[in-house]
Structures are given as structure tokens and as C-alpha cells.
Structure 1
């Protein structure tokens, strides 16, 4: 299976007081470098990282990695524009892909093992979507068969991939991933996360 991976990392970290959350360090690596290396380790196809705010300080963190970096000048309009930018970049990189994996840069506990497990679930259950469940949410990391790319491209504004997942629950395999609830959106999130690690 040829897989295209999109890492959404265009946000301005407004609740972080201007400090890019993509550059928060966990286990000696920034969150962005960590998730990008996990995506590359799948070794199934191209990896695209979508940047927007704070591009100049983030780009050096990805130096030397065999990825496609793409800028989304429309990032303030919401996540949908970054997703579309990433899909366009994937198409330019490799037109014939079997599916798309969508990742966020602020989930520190996403691992290569989780991503490979999601692909195994797709192979075993033959559903068009594989998404992670944590708490009451079912969301990213998420895999979409190429049949869903057109629908993903129709998202607007702040609508995320969750809209597509919810509409097609009957074609969605759920992977339990309670650690997915940890996303570092604010300084308080980071402080709590570091307290847990220190225990």
C-alpha cells in the first residue's frame, strides 16, 4: 500500500504565549521532529509537513529529513485549508496513493507502533477510515482510503477531519488511544504533561 502522510503544523500556538508548540521538547526531540520521524519510519510513501505561522523558526528543526515542506498562507482561516494544502502537495509528489494518514504535531504520545497498528487494522477490517478514540472523541491520528480524498478537499474553515469521520462511522474502524487526549495546546497543558512525566 502506498501511503501519503500529512502532518498539520501550521498553527500559531496562540494559547502558548507565542512559543511554537511544534518546538516543545519531549524525550530529547521536539514534537514536530518526533512525529515526522515516526511518519517517515512507516516507509510507505511521501510525507508532507504543512507550515504556516512561525515558519522561519520551525523549518530548521526538519533539516535533512526526506519530506516535502509546504506553506499554507491561509492557515488563519482554519484547519481545512492546511489539510487541502497538504493534499495538493501529496498529489504533486505522488499521484497514485492508496490512502492518506493525517497527523497533528501536538500529540506527544503518538508512536510508530500506533501508526503501524492503525494500518494493520485497515488491512484486517477493510474499512475506509481508521481513527483513534480517546475519551468521547474519535479523531487523529486518522487514516482515510483514497475514496475519501474528494470529501476531505470539501472541508471549509475550522472543520477538521472529524467531520468526515462522524459522517461515515459505519465505515470507520476505531483504535483505542487514550493518550491521544494529551495534546499540548496551552502552557497549562505542557505543565500538566511535564508533571505526569516527572511522577
Structure 2
């Protein structure tokens, strides 16, 4: 990272041992390109303050490139060369490195919405389709994940009605083993994550009070320097609840789960793995008609339109 001092978590650094991203000054770009040429596990590079001349960017083919500079002409020149070379590129016109955008580009997080469960305590209805402020509940949760900053969103479903409610707004993966419990849905969702995704945020499809600000707060906390592999929403005094962000390094343990086990079984009794943070919104989930009635009362009633 040269003389840059950015409070980004440890998977982004200059001389790493494993899969990583890089942030470099433009003056260090030549040495960075040499590093990338020798390291196939460098997934993305951010360049802050572009040099006057565009070097050969061939080493970056197959990786992601983020350009940060206050000069729109230099940004355009670099971006055009990168695009012609087939490099996935985005750019930010800014003199100072904007932490949020850098961290988001270098440490992408996917969202897994669990929507394959049975509504066993909500007789006569599929609770994920219940109306919350004019929107099906599961779609409201999906929109929070997407608008909050998840790079990729996946909805794990088991019933066609849920699939229709999503209506093309997300990737959908069918869980043929949904009846075996939540563990199988988590695993199906994680397998659908793209290779560049560094962590997955797991959220329940029946948590309609989780909003985009909830998600953004968790993403910010997970990407900060010194954060632990998992970050979850605080609940009550010392407890936590989904959504929970889980670094890829924890996925192996999640794939070993069975039945209704989930992230709690992986993190229980291991405080060194988990940061619990306060976040806007509420992690309440809906299981019963009474739960639904309480949450619906939090939203103003929509008045029917008057006919002319």
C-alpha cells in the first residue's frame, strides 16, 4: 500500500500470503503490476492518483481495477485502455481516496436471503408473501440487501410462489433439500456466490424491519481494519441476531452443518470470531400471526385513492 494509510480489514494489503486485493499510489503502479504478474491470487487493484502515462495493463486482465483521480481526462484515458484490454474497471473522480467506495470495491460482500423455510406456525399462508407496506415481505428483505450495498444477491427458495414474488429482481437458487433444515439453504446460497465475493451476509426472508441502513452499517463494520471474520446485529444485552456477515474463511465450517444449524452453531462460544454491532432497524423475524400484526402496525396505513 506504499504510503497510503487506509483502515481496511486485513485482506487488503501490500505483501500478502493469500488471496488479496491491493491499494497503491499511481507512482507505485509499475511495482504493483510486477506483483500482480507473479500472484494469480491478487483479485483486484485500486490505483489512487494516476500517473501521466498509461502503462501496459495486461497483467490486470481477469481482475478488477478501480481508478481514483481528480482529473477526468486521466480517468478517461486509463479507463479506455483498461476496457480495450478486457479488464473489469470502475472509476471515482476524487482527489482523496474515499474509504467506503474503496472498501466496497476491494472487499465485495454478497447477500444470501433465506426464503426456503416452511411457514409451519403461520397456518394457511406463505408468510414470506405477506404484505409489508405494499411489498411482499421477502422482496422487502431482498431490496434492503441490494440497496444496502451487497454486490451480489441470491434468494434461496423452495416454492414457486416465492420465486414469482422476486420477479427477476435477484438471482434465484432452488433448494431441493429445504425440508432438511436451514443448513442446506445456507450452503446452497454460499455455493452461488461468485469467486470474487469475500464474505456473505446471511439474512432471513422474514426480517422485514432489516433495512438498507442496517445492511450498510454491517458492511462498514466488517470492512474496517481489525474487524473479526463475522459481524452481526446486536440484540438485547449481549446477544446477536441475523443479518450476519461471514468471511469466506468460515464457509468451510458452514458447509459441514446439518439440519437446522446455522451461523450460531459455528460462532457459539468463539467470541474471537464475532463482532456484534448496533445497527439501525430491527432484527425481529415473523413466525406467527401475532408477530405479523405487531410489525404491520409499525407502518402507516395506505389510504385508497379517491376517484375523480
Does TM, normalized by the shorter one, top 0.5? yes
5 Å-filtered alignment, 1:72-111, equals 72-90=175-193, 94-111=194-211
Deviation (angstroms), 1:165: 2.2
Counterpart for residue 171 of structure 1: 273
Deviation (angstroms), 1:29: 1.1
Note if contact 1:31-1:106 (Cα within 8 Å) is conserved in structure 2: yes
Note if contact 2:114-2:156 (Cα within 8 Å) is conserved in structure 1: yes
SS at match of 1:6: strand
1: CA distance between counterparts of 2:294 and 2:143? 25
Distance 1:178 1:115, change over 3 A: closer
Note if contact 1:51-1:70 (Cα within 8 Å) is conserved in structure 2: yes
Cα deviations across residues 138-158 of structure 1 (Å, max 9, x unaligned)?
A: 221000111111111111111
Name stretches of at least 5 consecutive residues in structure 2 with no aligned partner: 1-106, 301-308
Counterpart for residue 3 of structure 1: 109
Counterpart for residue 187 of structure 1: 289
2: CA distance between counterparts of 1:100 and 1:168? 19
Deviation (angstroms), 1:14: 1.1
Counterpart for residue 160 of structure 2: 56
2: CA distance between counterparts of 1:167 and 1:153? 19
Name stretches of at least 5 consecutive residues in structure 1 with no aligned partner: none
Deviation (angstroms), 1:42: 3.6
Moved more, 100-109 or 173-182: 173-182
Q: 2:234 aligns with which of 115, 133, 142?
A: 133
Q: 1:149 aligns with which of 227, 251, 260?
A: 251
TM-score scaled by length of structure 2: 0.58
1: CA distance between counterparts of 2:151 and 2:240? 25
Distance 1:13 1:157, change over 3 A: same
Query: Which protein has the bigger helix share?
Result: 1
Q: Which has the larger radius of gyration?
A: 2
Cα RMSD of the aligned pairs, angstroms, is 2.0
Larger RCO of the pair (alpha carbons < 8 Å, separation 6+): 1
2: CA distance between counterparts of 1:104 and 1:49? 10
SS at match of 1:15: coil
2: CA distance between counterparts of 1:137 and 1:31? 25
Cα deviations across residues 83-106 of structure 1 (Å, max 9, x unaligned)?
A: 11111122xxx1222111101011
2: CA distance between counterparts of 1:36 and 1:30? 10
TM-score scaled by length of structure 1: 0.88
Deviation (angstroms), 1:127: 1.3
2: CA distance between counterparts of 1:44 and 1:186? 29
Note if contact 1:134-1:179 (Cα within 8 Å) is conserved in structure 2: no
Distance 1:2 1:179, change over 3 A: closer
